[in-house]
């Protein structure tokens, strides 16, 4: 099963232009590098990245056929995402065990959220075939 592990933003992570500007960043990045290395060696990590603060982002709002755009920053820091991993795990329990080993991704209190991804097989054979074809094209770098 694949899961997305979401690193929740904090007031501090949203305030910085560069993550190295946060107090304790050098130590956190060193510890996180070792953790990511362990994830890769265990065959768990599929992808992962940090996200710039929401002040660099945009939101597209949908209302029927109407689209509108809001520039960041966005309120409600506790609802924002600062980074993510995609993990391939055997179970949610395995994902929880790996998440508990994670170094604190922020200088103060922080949260990780783990959510299972919908797999193409969850939608039946026709959708699964379509999704598998798209994934194969993505892997090959074709359009």
Q: How much is the pTM?
A: 0.86
- d(CA 77, CA 65) in angstroms, rounded, equals 29
The answer to whether the peptide bond before residue 73 is cis (omega within 30 degrees of 0) is yes
Q: Quote the pLDDT of residue 12.
A: 85
Indicate if the pLDDT at residue 13 is higher than 90: no
Paired residues of 71 in beta bridges: 58
User: What pairing do the DSSP bridges indicate for beta strands 58-63 and 66-71?
Assistant: antiparallel
Angle, helix 92-101 to helix 25-41, in steps of 10 degrees:
150
Indicate if the pLDDT at residue 143 is higher than 80: no
Provide the CATH topology of domain 2-118. Answer: Alpha-Beta Plaits (3.30.70)
Indicate if the pLDDT at residue 127 is higher than 90: no
Q: Work out the percent of the chain whose per-residue pLDDT is above 70.
A: 100
Element (H, E) at 110: none
pLDDT tens sequence across 42-78: 999 999 999 999 999 999 999 999 999 999 999 887 7
The domains of the chain are located at 2-118
Higher per-residue confidence, 96 vs 128: 96
Are 83 and 49 a contacting pair, CB within 8 Å? yes
For residue 81, how many other CB atoms are within 10 A of its CB? Answer: 15
- d(CA 136, CA 127) in angstroms, rounded, equals 14
- Measured over the CA atoms of residue 21, residue 25, residue 30 and residue 36, the dihedral's sign is negative
């Amino acid at each position: 099963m694949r899961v997305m592990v979401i690193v929740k933003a904090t007031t501090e992570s949203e305030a910085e232009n560069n993550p190295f500007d946060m107090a304790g960043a050098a130590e956190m990045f060193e510890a996180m590098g070792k953790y990511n290395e362990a994830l890769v060696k265990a065959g768990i990590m599929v992808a992962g990245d940090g996200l710039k603060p929401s002040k660099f982002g945009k939101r597209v709002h949908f209302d029927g056929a109407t689209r509108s755009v809001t520039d960041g920053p966005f309120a409600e820091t506790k609802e924002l995402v600062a980074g993510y991993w995609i993990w391939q795990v055997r179970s949610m329990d395995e994902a929880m065990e790996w998440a508990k080993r994670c170094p604190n991704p922020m200088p103060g209190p922080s949260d990780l959220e783990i959510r299972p991804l919908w797999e193409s097989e969850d939608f039946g054979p026709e959708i699964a075939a379509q999704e598998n074809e798209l994934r194969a094209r993505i892997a090959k770098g074709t359009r």
